[in-house]
């Protein structure tokens, strides 16, 4: 996503598929080249009504004081 409208469209789509999403156990780790955020997320799948729980990590790089890249990796909790 490179523009404000692309980000807005993403959240419109996401809001149609998940609800009551909460992030817990959020921890940031700062390294010289990137910042990492680890977390646990819970919520409800709109289509099925099933609850979900995921753990994930997000990687951020910065340029001129702004986010340059954001990578997201997550998996369901077994």
The 3-class SS string of the chain reads CCCHHHHHHHHHHHHHHEEEEEEEEEEEEECCCCEEEEEEEEEEECCCCCEEEEEEEEEEEEECCEEEEEEEEEEECC
Sequence-distant contacts of 33-41: CB under 8 A, at least 24 apart: 33/61, 34/59, 34/60, 34/61, 35/59, 35/60, 35/61, 35/62, 36/60, 40/77, 41/74
Top CATH class, 4-76: alpha beta
pLDDT digits (tens, 9 = 90+) for 42-52: 999 988 999 99
What value does the mean pLDDT take over residues 27-49? Answer: 95
44 or 8: which leads in pLDDT: 44
| pLDDT at residue 15 is higher than 80 | no
Note the pLDDT of residue 78.
Answer: 63
| pLDDT at residue 8 is higher than 70 | yes
Q: What is the mean pLDDT of the chain?
A: 91
Domain range list for the chain: 4-76
């Amino acid at each position: 996503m490179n523009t404000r409208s692309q980000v807005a469209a993403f959240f419109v789509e996401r809001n149609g598929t998940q609800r009551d999403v909460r992030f817990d156990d959020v921890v940031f780790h700062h390294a010289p080249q990137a910042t990492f955020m680890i977390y646990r997320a819970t919520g409800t799948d709109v289509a099925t009504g099933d609850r979900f729980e995921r753990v994930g990590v997000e990687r951020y790089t910065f340029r001129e004081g702004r986010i340059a890249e954001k990578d997201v990796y997550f998996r369901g909790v077994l």
